Structure 1
Amino acid sequence: MSDFIDYGNLMHSAMRSLIQKVLQGVQENGLPGAHHFFITFDTLHPDVEMADWLSDRYPGEMTVVMQNWFENLEVSDDGFKVTMKFGGTPENLYIPYDSIVTFVDPSVEFGLRFETQEDREEEADAPVEEAPMAEDVEEEAKDAEVVSLDSFRK
């Protein structure tokens, strides 16, 4: 048993599950309303499947837009397959959830970003901002309005 709870990995798992559920809904019912997705993924992930010319053109990351034309969407527990057009040519993609860097639905201003180990290392190397002094926080708290959750209950 570990000495700590790995909240980062648990959160990533929950966010990937959310993407899976959203895509399952699209697979079953199509895109509702104005919804559309910008999905950026790591093209170097070992389980990504894409045409060689696409991986040559996008050596690292690629963003696909699921909006006007896509077909053959198949959602599984580990990722999804989809056919999309690139330069008018249909191409099959397999994108594992673990390869996703960002998932954005701009129609509702929703987005997810997955931190990588490199992101965490860059954060650790970045200078730390000075935390506000306790009295500064107390001053800000005096100006804040406290709303009781009871006011929203019926």
Structure 2
Amino acid sequence: MPRQIDYGRLMHSAMRGLIREVLSDVAENGLPGDHHFFITFGTTEPDVGIADWLHARYPDEMTVVLQHWFDDLEVGEDGFSVTLNFGDTPEPLFIPYDAIRTFVDPSVEFGLRFETQESLDPAADDALPSTAPTHPEGNATEAEIVSLDKFRK
């Protein structure tokens, strides 16, 4: 079989690079303005580092928010670590970029959604849900999701 360019893999790599760059800037300079992030990741993905009690509570996926309180944000080549507050208990997390399923910044209506090969269904392209994260104040904000499936054949 002749070699083919894997555009889907290349797009995923580029978008994860974008997330790495954004988080690196936040680690260095803090969150500007109203920017904040909703990051959903698979808790069973390789190299995910979360406390056992969090894994028991979120056995498949978890969404974290980087907004008002987070600490020790360190951005690496393969993932990032951050300490978040869960009910007045600080917990360190390590999230590999490959485990991220969605990355949303509702302050500017920006979002990325990563599909796994197992979940790809050509008929599902039109059925992709939109993301409407809820702010802590209860206001829903729609975010545009960029589906990489549109670029696959």
Query: Identity of aligned pairs, percent?
Result: 68
How far did residue 33 of structure 1 move?
0.2
The 1-side partners of 2:116 and 2:124 are apart by: 19
| Counterpart residue number, 1:152 | none
Instruction: Establish whether residue 23 from structure 1 lines up as the match of residue 23 from structure 2.
Output: yes
Local SS of the residue matching 1:31: coil
Q: Structure 1 residues 67 and 2 mapped into 2: Cα distance closer, same or farther (>3 Å)? A: farther
The amino acid of 1:27's aligned partner reads: A
Which consecutive residues of structure 1, in runs of 5 or more, have no partner in the other structure? 130-154
TM-score by length of 2: 0.79
Q: Deviations over 1:9-60 (max 9, x none)?
A: 0000000000000000000000000000000000001200010000000000
Q: Structure 1 residues 55 and 2 mapped into 2: Cα distance closer, same or farther (>3 Å)? A: farther
The 2-side partners of 1:32 and 1:11 are apart by: 26
| Counterpart residue number, 1:97 | 97
Q: Deviations over 1:74-132 (max 9, x none)?
A: 00010000000011100000000000000000000000000111221xx14x3899xxx
1:135-150 map, 5 Å: none
The 2-side partners of 1:46 and 1:128 are apart by: 27
How far did residue 3 of structure 1 move?
2.0
Instruction: Establish whether residue 46 from structure 1 lines up as the match of residue 46 from structure 2.
Output: yes
TM-score by length of 1: 0.78
Q: Structure 1 residues 80 and 3 mapped into 2: Cα distance closer, same or farther (>3 Å)? A: same
| Counterpart residue number, 1:112 | 112
The amino acid of 2:62's aligned partner reads: M
| Counterpart residue number, 2:10 | 10
The amino acid of 1:60's aligned partner reads: D
| Runs of 4+ displaced beyond 3 Å | 126-129
Which consecutive residues of structure 2, in runs of 5 or more, have no partner in the other structure? 127-153
RMSD over equivalenced CA pairs, Å:
1.8
The structure with the greater share of residues assigned to helix is 1
